[in-house]
Amino acid sequence: MKLLRKDIEKDNAGQVTLVPEEPEDMWHTYNLVQVGDSLRASTIRKVQTESATGSVGSSRVRTTLTLCVEAVDFDSQACQLRVKGTNLQENEYVKMGAYHTIELEPNRQFTLAKKQWDSVVLERIEQACDPAWSADVAAVVMQEGLAHVCLVTPSMTLTRAKVEVTIPRKRRGHCGQHDRALERFYDQVVQAIQRHVHFDVVKCVLVASPGFVREQFCDYMFQQAVKTDNKVLLENRAKFLQVHASSGHKYSLKEALCDPAVASRLADTRAAGEVKALDDFYKMLQHEPDRACYGLRHVEKANEALAIDTLLISDELFRHQDVAARSRYVRLVDSVRESAGTVRIFSSLHVSGEQLSQLTGLAAVLRFPVPELSDQEDSSSEED
C-alpha cells in the first residue's frame, strides 16, 4: 500500500489518499472503510444517451465519484472489494443521492474521509504502508491425496491451491497403481508450489503432514529437480522446513506454525507472533486459569485493575456496525497500551484469528489474578 496524502486535523477528522498495490492491500482497505465514511475513487458507470433521432443507446464511461458508504463487501478468495453508497457530489453522469457501487482496484488510488480517525485505523495504515509487512511464509499442508498450498501473510492465510488425487490402496504384489497415483499427486503439488510461491520474497516454505508423507514428498521433489535441472527449487532447498501436522486440511497449519523449529525460523514475522500469543493464552488457561480471561465483560474488568499483560483482539470487532460498540473496543486497546500492556490485533482471515473468534474475538493474558473475575464466574454459575 502506498500513502500519497494524509490530511488529519486535531479533532481526528480528515482524509487520506492511498494506492493499493497488492491483493492483501484490498484486505487492509476493507478494514479501513466503514459505513458512514466518504470514499472518492474512479469507477465505471453505465449511462444512457439519446440521439437527435430519438433512439436510445447505452455506453460505459469512466468517471470519479464520491460516495457516502452504506455497505462494504470483500471477496477473500479473489481479493476484490466493492463499496456501495449514495453519490455526494453531482457530475454529468450521476445525480446527487443516486446509488452506485465502486469496485476498488489495485494500482488505482482512492481518497477516504472520516469524521473520526481512531488509533486502530491509523495503525493499520502504518502497517499496510510498511514494505516489511509482506507474505514471507509459504506452507504446504498435506496428507496422501490431499494438499493445500498456502501463503501466510501478516494478515491472512491465503489458500492458493488445493490438490486432490485419489490414491488407490496398496495390494500385495500390486503396488503399481498406488505408486503411479502418488507420483501424479506429488507432481501436481510441485507445480502448485512453483506457480504460487515467490522465492524472492518467501523466507520459509513449511511442508507439514502426518507420518512420513512430508519426507517422501520432499525426497521426490528434489530428485525430480535434479533430473530436470530445476534451478529455482535447488537454489531454495534450504528454505524448505519439514514439520508435523495432523492432517492435510488448512486448519492443521496452526499446529505447524506452533512448532518450536518453525517459531525460531519465523521469529521476525507477525504471523508467528500471533500464533505464539494465542498458544501462550491457551497454556495460561490450562495451567494458571486465574491469569487468563476472555469475553468483553471479563477483559474490561481486568483492564480496570490494570492487570492485562497481553490483549488478543480480532480485527472483526473493529468492523462492528454499531459506532458505540466499535469505539468501546478502540478505547480498550488504547487503555491497555497506556498501562504498558501489549496489544495483538488478529486478522479474522488468519488461522489464529479464526480460533480467537471462537473465544468471542477477545482474550487477555494477565499479569496477576483478578479476584473480581472469579467472583463474577461464581455468581453467573449460581444464577444458572
Report CA-CA distances (Å) from 16 to 6, 37, 55, 210, 319.
4, 12, 43, 48, 19
Output b/e per residue, 151-190; b: 16+ Cβ within 10 A.
bbbbbbbbbebebebebeeeeeeeeeeeeebbeebbeebb
**96 and 172 share one domain:** no
Specify the 3-state DSSP secondary structure of 85: strand
Within a domain: 383: no
Q: Are 19 and 141 in contact (CB under 8 A)?
A: no
**107 and 156 share one domain:** no
Three cell numbers written together for 69: 458508504
Specify the 3-state DSSP secondary structure of 308: strand
**144 and 260 share one domain:** yes
**313 and 360 share one domain:** yes
Other beta carbons within 10 angstroms of residue 111's beta carbon come to 17
Which of 246, 282, 286, 287 is closest to 363 using CA atoms? 282
Q: Which of 89, 113, 129 is the last residue of a domain?
A: 129
Q: Which of 85, 111, 129 is the last residue of a domain?
A: 129
**147 and 255 share one domain:** yes
**141 and 251 share one domain:** yes
Report CA-CA distances (Å) from 329 to 119, 239, 299, 315.
11, 39, 11, 10
**232 and 166 share one domain:** yes
Within a domain: 16: yes
Amino acid at 6: K
Q: Find the domain containing 297 and state its range.
A: 277-378
* CATH code for the domain of 179: 3.30.420.60
Q: Which of 129, 163, 194 is the last residue of a domain?
A: 129
Number of domains in the chain: 3
Per residue of the chain (384 residues), give pLDDT as tens.
899 999 999 888 999 999 998 777 888 899 999 999 999 999 998 887 776 677 777 888 999 999 999 999 998 777 789 999 999 998 888 999 999 999 998 889 999 999 999 999 998 898 788 654 555 789 999 999 999 999 887 667 888 899 999 998 877 767 788 889 999 999 999 999 999 998 877 888 999 999 999 999 999 999 999 999 999 999 999 999 999 999 999 889 988 888 877 776 765 555 667 888 999 999 999 999 999 999 999 999 999 999 999 999 999 999 887 888 988 999 999 999 999 999 999 988 788 888 999 999 999 999 999 887 765 554 444 443
**161 and 254 share one domain:** yes
Its pTM stands at 0.63
Three cell numbers written together for 280: 501462550
Q: Where are the alpha helices (DSSP H) in the chain?
A: 23-32, 119-128, 176-196, 213-228, 231-235, 253-258, 260-265, 270-287, 296-304, 323-338, 351-357, 371-383
**180 and 251 share one domain:** yes
H helices, E strands: number in the chain: 12, 16
Q: Are 274 and 330 in contact (CB under 8 A)?
A: no
